[in-house]
Structure 1
């Protein structure tokens, strides 16, 4: 953990105070690599856009009052372009990384805005930020979320999540409406178009009266196709991306957070982690088989407020280490409010009847991610925390916590029969021997 603040003031950059600073820090020691001062007000930011597009920028920052977008090179902090001529609509993440539509050999982007009466999409040049063609109406229904999906036939579809279900609209038809001829490099998917409406062109993917989340699986099948994981009010369903057929469904009570992925078994298919609210401040942590939807592992935890969602880190042994947050019922102190008790748990699939518990003296956790820092050796948690309540102003702290550094100080908890021959030292040594890798 390292304390850091902008090296120069807003006035130095000719900006009113308060202004917005974007900073990049070194993953090794937390030193500031660069800082970039921007106009207020901050709306949202998205970094890590699709690679190999020819774009020289990686982060897009959205400002409100007035509306403006700023493209930043994540390696240098250099501002490459600004866009302030768009209509004052409520554009939302994610930014969609689309193919080159204006012929300048640089991949372009699309922004989606939605309100109760309409949903619109606008294309921007990835090279200059200028608008390409006209804004396109995607319908008169408000959407909850949107994604860009690439099919096995080489077609792009914008996925529109509505309260009534999930629908798709071909990028081909959107580009054609934005500017005649701009769709020439795109095409429709014949399998998907079998489910398309003759009037709106919308492809019905899945109908539900309580659609909550849509997540694309983080790996592709043997056909190079990612599938669609859908969370509704009382179930989780996996839809095959190739032909939009239901692969499996799993009944739930109320899923608390966005599902995550990891390899629990060694069948080569990513398994799915969900948190199901079962009442009385208790959540059921479940790992579902990615192939069948069957339960591979589960445990109940007390749910602390603002607990991060589960995450995982892949190992060179073809399984993942899973990270959960909460409080084990056997470890809970009912005289202390759960708001002050934040614990993390590590699960090793080869020792599935055991959890490694760490007590974390952390304040409000704003963001958490388990990540690979150095192939083979180094995996860590990245946490952004605040001493203030959620939504309040105050100092935030970005810290890195090495996974293996917590092992000697962790407590081994038995969650069920089994692993009796393995001592606490054996369990900890199994974690210490781990080597980490990308998926």
Structure 2
């Protein structure tokens, strides 16, 4: 029986279906909010199939701009979301770089292949370019970063991380033709580091522990990128200008992906991480982005879901942090009722001004499989959307129940929240409640 696949977009106001569009195969990645004509954001969704399809649709209507059904060579699968590039073929539209890997990984000598794709038509620009790399573990990237001299690089690797300039990939994909103006910039500071490397790749990270995650961050004090590398038990920050380590934080087993946000007032990104130590003890930590030192921690004797944490910008320049966890051992300031004693997951909010108080905003009976946050700018409010699995409705034919999508407005949730204290708090409940009720969430920080 032929599998029918479609993509649906839900209204953030009431959850109604705004539009659907068909797909020729199951999807591996979806990326929305991309500019199509260079005239703003939010006009395109890119749909990436599990093996061969690439499709661009209008994010407002779902209508198709173009579709390519043979974007990858045979026996290869997509490695990650397409890397968004400036216009490289001169048609006025931003273009893309797609990475793919072998469908079956048999040995330590592995490869990543790249191909340029026109953002206007989906047509390939030049030939695929393949790099062999040695490593083990999950594939990292490909992701783009900007060097200290403004040159664009692609980062990727299996457990280790290598870099290659988009300029070099383009030269190999399109022969000796002239370079597009968007790729003219070079970075001699970085290029000398790869001299003698026969693969032509720049080594970024090759530590004893395999890299599990790589985040490309806006650089501190410049237009270049900083890199945050996560291994099983370590965070390492590299300053992008020279790719030199600034600090590393070593701890217990790190779950999920670190969440960047501003906890203190030094205007340097800090990071929320969740870790597991002995006897399945869970901790949430805030790591100082300037030094790698611990700024805050809470021990959670419960299940955590570190991959679904987030941060929301506040009007004072700091961030509120959100994370999902099971029932914690701390006692709420308000009297507990029997309805609070469940085995579900709870959405907690942490504010830097009250580090010893968590707000319990929402509860889910099933695990959270995906989530997203956003800002209602006019209301100075924020929302959190969670996708959960209702395991109570699972059947003998399927271990999974139906998916549920829930939208939580943070201001309303704060008014109805329960407080959880991590230490004794001398401030009155009324004062804390008033403070949180006056929070303003925004995308543009007020100076």
TM (norm. structure 2) is 0.85
Asked if 1:372 corresponds to 2:375, the answer is: yes
The total of aligned residue pairs comes to 417
- Rounded to whole Å, the distance in 1 between the matches of 2:97 and 2:91 is 16
Asked if 1:408 corresponds to 2:415, the answer is: yes
Unpaired runs of at least 5, structure 2? none
- Rounded to whole Å, the distance in 1 between the matches of 2:49 and 2:289 is 39
Could you give the per-residue CA deviations for residues 250-297 of structure 1, whole angstroms, max 9, x where no partner exists? Answer: 112211010001111122112111112113232211111111111111
RMSD of the alignment, in Å?
A: 2.8
In structure 1, what is the equivalent of residue 431 of structure 2?
A: 426
Aligned counterparts, 1:27-426, within 5 A? 27-49=12-34, 53=38, 58-64=44-50, 67-86=52-71, 87-88=73-74, 89-115=76-102, 116=105, 117-141=110-134, 143-163=139-159, 165-180=160-175, 181=177, 183-185=179-181, 186=183, 187-198=185-196, 199-209=198-208, 210-217=210-217, 219-304=218-303, 306=305, 308-326=307-325, 327-330=327-330, 340-358=343-361, 360-388=363-391, 392=399, 394-417=401-424, 419-420=425-426, 422-426=427-431
Could you give the per-residue CA deviations for residues 351-397 of structure 1, whole angstroms, max 9, x where no partner exists? Answer: 11211224514323111223212345221111112214999554322
Could you give the per-residue CA deviations for residues 208-257 of structure 1, whole angstroms, max 9, x where no partner exists? Answer: 1321111112x442212231001123311110011111111111221101
Contact in 1 for aligned 2:308/2:368 (Cα 8 Å): no
Could you say what secondary structure the match of 1:309 adopts?
A: strand
Relative to structure 1, the CA distance from residue 136 to residue 313 in structure 2 (aligned partners, 3 Å threshold; closer, same or farther) is same
- Rounded to whole Å, the distance in 1 between the matches of 2:47 and 2:11 is 21
In structure 2, what is the equivalent of residue 7 of structure 1?
A: none
Unpaired runs of at least 5, structure 1? 1-15
Q: CA deviation at 1:48?
A: 3.0
Could you give the per-residue CA deviations for residues 138-194 of structure 1, whole angstroms, max 9, x where no partner exists? Answer: 22446433201122312111101332x221101111100001225343233111112
Relative to structure 1, the CA distance from residue 428 to residue 308 in structure 2 (aligned partners, 3 Å threshold; closer, same or farther) is farther
- Rounded to whole Å, the distance in 2 between the matches of 1:273 and 1:52 is 36
Could you say what secondary structure the match of 1:434 adopts?
A: coil
TM (norm. structure 1) is 0.87
Could you say what secondary structure the match of 1:195 adopts?
A: helix
